[in-house]
A and B are shown apart, each in its own frame.
Chain A
Amino acid sequence: MSRLGTLGARLYRGEVGYDFVGKRKIWYGVSILITIIAIAGVVVRGLNMGIEFSGGAVFTTPKAGVSTTDIRQTAEKAADGHTVVVQELGRGGLRIQISELGTKEALPVQEALSKKLDVSTNKIDTQLVGPSWGEQIASKAWQGLAIFMVLVVVYLAIAFEWRMALAALIALIHDITITVGIYALVGFEVTPGTVIGLLTILGYSLYDTVVVFDGLKEATKDLTKQNRFTYSEVANRSLNSTLVRSINTTVVALLPVGALLFIGGGLLGAGMLNDISLSLFVGLAAGAYSSIFIATPLVADLKERDPRMKALAKRVRAKRAASAKAEAGGDRSAEEGDSGPDTDLEDAGAAPAGVVGQRRQPASRGRGRGRPSGKRR
Chain B
Amino acid sequence: MAAPKKGRRSPGSQGRPGRALAVILIAIVALTGGMFLSGHTKPRLGIDLAGGTSFTLEAKNQPGRPNAINTANMNTAVGIIERRVNGLGVSEAEVQTQGEKHIIVNIPKGTNAKQARQQVGTTAQLYFRPVITTTPAAGKTPEPTPDPTATGKPGDKGDKGADKGDKGADKDKPSATPSTSAGTQGRAVPNALKADKAPTPSPSKTPKGGQTKQPSDPDSQKQLAKDFAALDCTTKKGRAAAAEKAANAKPSDSILACGQKGDAKYVLGASQVEGTDVDDASAVFESQNASGWIVQLGFNSKGAKKFANVTGELAAKQDPQNRFAITLDGEVVSAPSVDRAIAGGSATISGGFTQQSAEDLANVLSFGALPLTFDIADETTVSAALGGEQLHAGLIAGAIGMALVVLYLVIYYRGLALVAMASLGVSAALTYTIMVLLGPGIGFALNLPAVCGAIVAIGITADSFIVYFERIRDEIREGRSLRPAVERGWPRARRTILVSDFVSFLAAAVLYVVTVGKVQGFAFTLGLTTLLDVAVVFLFTKPLMTILARRPFFGNGHPWSGLDPQRLGATPPLRRRRSAAPADTKEA
Contacts and interface: CB of A to CB of B under 8 A. Distances in A.
Contact of A255 (B405, B577, B578): B405
Interface in B474-525: 474-475, 477-478, 488, 492, 495-496, 499-500, 502-508, 510-511, 513-519, 522-523
A9 B570 CA distance: 7
A132 B568 contact: no
Interface residues of A, number: 111
A377 interface: yes
B455 to A, nearest CB: 5
Interface in B167-202: none
B383 interface: yes
Interface in B361-393: 375-383, 385-386, 389-390, 393
Interface string A60-97: 10100000000000000000000000000001000000
A136 B375 CA distance: 13
A19 B567 contact: no
A256 B567 contact: no
Given A126-B113, A127-B378, A140-B516, A1 B414 contact: yes
Nearest to B559: A2
B246 to A, nearest CB: 20
Interface string A365-377: 0011011111011
Contacts of A181: none
B474 A207 contact: no
B515 to A, nearest CB: 5
Given A251-B408, A256-B402, A263-B397, A125 B386 contact: yes
B513 to A, nearest CB: 8
B33 interface: no
Given A128-B378, A148-B510, A273 B567 contact: no
Interface string B566-588: 01111100001111111111111
B514 A144 contact: yes
Given A196-B449, A252-B409, A280 B456 contact: yes
Contact of B518 (A122, A229, A267, A272): A272
Nearest to B386: A125
B516 A132 contact: no
A351 interface: yes
B397 A262 contact: yes
A182 B142 CA distance: 64
Contact of A144 (B376, B379, B495, B515): B515
B401 A129 contact: no
A240 B113 CA distance: 59
Contact of B378 (A12, A129, A158, A229): A129
Contacts of A125: 380-383, 386
Contacts of B492: 214, 218, 377
A204 B462 CA distance: 13
B568 A192 contact: no
Nearest to A144: B514
Most buried by A among B448, B458, B587: B587
B385 A62 contact: yes
B579 A355 contact: yes
Nearest to B514: A144
A193 B390 CA distance: 14
B455 A137 contact: no
A19 B588 contact: yes
B3 A159 contact: yes
Interface string A237-267: 1001110110011011111111110111001
Contacts of A263: 393-394, 396-397, 400
Nearest to A253: B459
A276 interface: yes
Interface in B393-427: 393-394, 396-398, 400-402, 404-405, 408-409, 411-412, 414
Contacts of B87: none
A1 B567 contact: yes
A370 B377 contact: no
A50 interface: no
B488 A377 contact: yes
A19 B458 CA distance: 32
B587 A121 contact: no
Contacts of A4: 412
A5 to B, nearest CB: 5
Contacts of A176: none
A147 B510 contact: yes
Contacts of B499: 159, 210, 214
Contacts of B383: 62, 122-125
Interface stretch (B205-213, B234-242, B302-310, B465-473): B465-473
Contact of A376 (B474, B507, B517, B564): B474
B448 A272 contact: yes
A229 B583 contact: yes
A233 interface: yes
Given A17-B585, A91-B389, A276-B452, A260 B397 contact: yes
Most buried by A among B386, B586, B587: B586
Contact of A136 (B48, B516, B577): B516
B459 A257 contact: yes
Interface in A343-377: 351-355, 367-368, 370-374, 376-377
Contact of A371 (B506, B571, B578): B578
13 contacts: A19-B586, A22-B588, A122-B381, A140-B515, A141-B519, A204-B460, A206-B504, A245-B466, A260-B455, A272-B448, A351-B577, A367-B578, A377-B488
Given A19-B587, A252-B466, A272-B449, 11 more contacts: A130-B376, A132-B58, A133-B58, A193-B449, A200-B526, A233-B583, A255-B401, A256-B398, A256-B402, A259-B397, A373-B581
Interface of A: 1-2, 4-6, 8-10, 12-17, 19, 22, 52, 60, 62, 91, 103, 107, 121-130, 132-133, 136-137, 140-141, 143-144, 147-148, 151-152, 155-156, 158-159, 192-193, 195-196, 199-200, 202-204, 206-207, 210-211, 214-215, 218, 228-229, 233, 236-237, 240-242, 244-245, 248-249, 251-260, 262-264, 267-268, 271-273, 276-277, 280, 351-355, 367-368, 370-374, 376-377
